[in-house]
Chain A
């Protein structure tokens, strides 16, 4: 990946705002059993994870809300890497869920969606970002390349 050397710093309130929207969209999609709404959320995850949080639809909506309501400067900023990794996790789970629903395995598909519902709800309500915490664990499970 050819990312700029200075990481993009984002407002810490952005990911929680996005998580609240994700949570709402996926809850409605689940209750209505709507593959179209689920597909829309998968697309939002895909843009944020692949193109970067600068292009995130919810992130841009947050910036618009921030300007309109004059919410003031960020209380704190963070590098985009952690939240972006979480968007990738969201993309994998909801994308697999969408694929399963479309393929007819709707029980499995909506179960995967409910995982994303739980994690986005947790982030929106408490600020606990499970995807961000997974980094150390992921490193630990990775096979060592040397001295094995």
Chain B
């Protein structure tokens, strides 16, 4: 009888974990983009939080755009491949957004600094190092589109 109760308790904890995981998976956590009246950078109201990531992107030598989706990937990671395709798809009509993949094992300093716990994890950063958003897992498409649309509105203001 005890064994059955223990087993049921284990299954209940597992179900709770599953619900928690599903609630977070792919959620886009955006920085509150407050329209800044400060002259200069249009992202001036957001603290510089990803200067190291922006520097790593610049170091790749590829032509940089104002915004970059930086996806942290692992080998043999199926959701990583799907995430890359999704990021490229949602940013296809934006010439100011590019997509970059960084291998977790080759950028351990960034992984530690940004507490990246999973592959894929995606960050949206600006050239000058502002962090605009973060997603763990395969991003939810509608939230990703909303995040990008937010940056466009911000731009025109």
Contact = CB atoms under 8 A, between A and B. Distances in A.
Interface of A: 7, 12, 27, 30-31, 33, 76, 78-79, 81-82, 114, 117-118, 121-122, 125-126, 128, 132-133, 135-137, 139-140, 142, 144, 147
Report whether over half of chain B's contact residues are helix, strand or loop; otherwise say mixed: helix
A117 B10 contact: yes
Interface in B85-133: 104-105, 108-109, 111-112, 116-119, 121
A82 B76 contact: yes
A147 B108 CA distance: 11
Interface in B66-80: 72, 74-78
Contacts of B105: 139
Contacts of B118: 133, 136-137
Interface of B: 3-4, 6-7, 10-11, 13-14, 17-18, 21-22, 72, 74-78, 104-105, 108-109, 111-112, 116-119, 121
A74 to B, nearest CB: 12
B7 A135 contact: no
Instruction: Give me the 4 closest cross-chain CB pairs, A-B, nearest first.
Output: A81-B76, A79-B76, A136-B119, A118-B14
Given A7-B76, A31-B3, A137-B117, 10 more contacts: A12-B78, A27-B7, A118-B14, A122-B14, A122-B18, A126-B18, A133-B118, A135-B119, A136-B118, A140-B116
A144 B108 contact: yes
B74 A140 contact: no
Contact of B13 (A33, A118, A147): A118
A122 to B, nearest CB: 5
Contacts of A31: 3-4, 7
B104 A122 contact: no
Contact of A118 (B10, B78, B111): B10
Nearest to B3: A31
A76 B82 CA distance: 12
A121 B18 CA distance: 10
Contact of B111 (A81, A125, A132, A139): A139
Contact of B117 (A7, A82, A136): A136
A27 B137 CA distance: 30
A30 to B, nearest CB: 7
Contacts of A82: 76-78
A41 to B, nearest CB: 16
A140 B117 contact: yes
A48 B11 CA distance: 25
A122 B121 contact: no
Contacts of A30: 3, 7
A139 B76 contact: no
Contacts of B109: 144, 147
